[in-house]
Amino acid sequence: MKAINCPKGHGPMEQKNIKQKKTFKGVDIEFMADVFVCPECGLEAGTIESAGEVQRAIADAYRKKVELLTGQEIKNLRKAKELTQQQLADIMNVGIASIKRWETGMIQSKSMDHALRMQLQCTIHADNYTGNREISLARIKLVAKTFEKILSKRLLKSGDKLLFLAKYLWYADMLAFRQFGKGLTGASYAAITYGPQLNNYKDLVKPIKESDINAAEPLSDEELKTIHQVANKFLTEEEVYDAAHRERIWKDAEIGALIPYSCAHEMTEI
């Protein structure tokens, strides 16, 4: 800021970082800002609110007050997870411009805040989206066939969108992760309008159907128990479909965003 003189004729004013009070979006906030103060009479020359720094301070004070993540918090959490802005944008299915704006001064909506927290505050884990193992199509098929056997119904159908099977798989993978710290299939799940779904399912249906279950790592007794637990809890396709739609970890995710395995402990239906 360029030095200015006291309008009362006391000469140059001093730049000071002082606490400011303001009502912003109907909320009383306090924030720190640089202002000019006359050392002689104490007169304050108002802050230049168009200055980016002040805007940021106001936005962050507001976000803190209404319990939204501040720009700095978003940035710190993102860095703690070793994600670039582009990577966070990709997993949240938003543009990188949104991430940049939230980290500087733009105030995110409550639902976006939930989505950000879900991605950033769940346990930091390198394999957060694959359940701590590599994806195995043969294992996906093996788990699917196991569900079919227990439930006595076909779930892996030709030309199918895996609408119901994906939810059984999701619950089994997430529950296994919660129980053993490792999923069953290594699949990533995205939040779509119709609930949690295998990420890129359109490209996966055919290769899954064509894979050889004998090539899959056999299911351990413990893993089999987990699959039974899911099947016994959701006996019909409607039940598993409806339950998945009640899960906050799906509801809070943006459409197209990946659902971290570390959110498994927040599932409420199983």
Site for Zn ion, rule CB under 5 A: 6, 8, 10, 38, 40-41, 43
Decide if 217 contacts 182 (C-beta within 8 A): no
Using CB positions, name the residue nearest to Zn ion. 38
Using the minimum distance from each CB to Zn ion, give the nearer residue, 6 or 77. Answer: 6
Using the minimum distance from each CB to Zn ion, give the nearer residue, 10 or 65. Answer: 10
Question: Residue 38 Cβ, how far from Zn ion at the closest point, in Å?
Answer: 3
Find the helix or strand (DSSP H, E) in which 221 lies.
helix 221-233
Strands (E), the chain: 14-24, 27-37, 44-45, 189-192, 195-198
Question: Residue 19 Cβ, how far from Zn ion at the closest point, in Å?
Answer: 20
Could you give the CA distance from residue 228 to residue 241 in angstroms, rounded to a whole number? 17
Question: Residue 43 Cβ, how far from Zn ion at the closest point, in Å?
Answer: 5
Closest CA to 76 of 60, 65, 62: 60
What are the Cα distances from residue 192, in Å, to 29, 162, 200?
Answer: 37, 13, 11
Question: Residue 9 Cβ, how far from Zn ion at the closest point, in Å?
Answer: 7
Question: Residue 30 Cβ, how far from Zn ion at the closest point, in Å?
Answer: 25
Name the packing angle between helices 85-92 and 96-104 (round to 10°): 120
Please name the amino acid found at residue 27: V
Using the minimum distance from each CB to Zn ion, give the nearer residue, 9 or 26. Answer: 9
For the chain, the first-to-last Cα distance in angstroms comes to: 58
Using the minimum distance from each CB to Zn ion, give the nearer residue, 39 or 95. Answer: 39
Using the minimum distance from each CB to Zn ion, give the nearer residue, 11 or 207. Answer: 11
Question: Residue 15 Cβ, how far from Zn ion at the closest point, in Å?
Answer: 14
Using the minimum distance from each CB to Zn ion, give the nearer residue, 7 or 95. Answer: 7
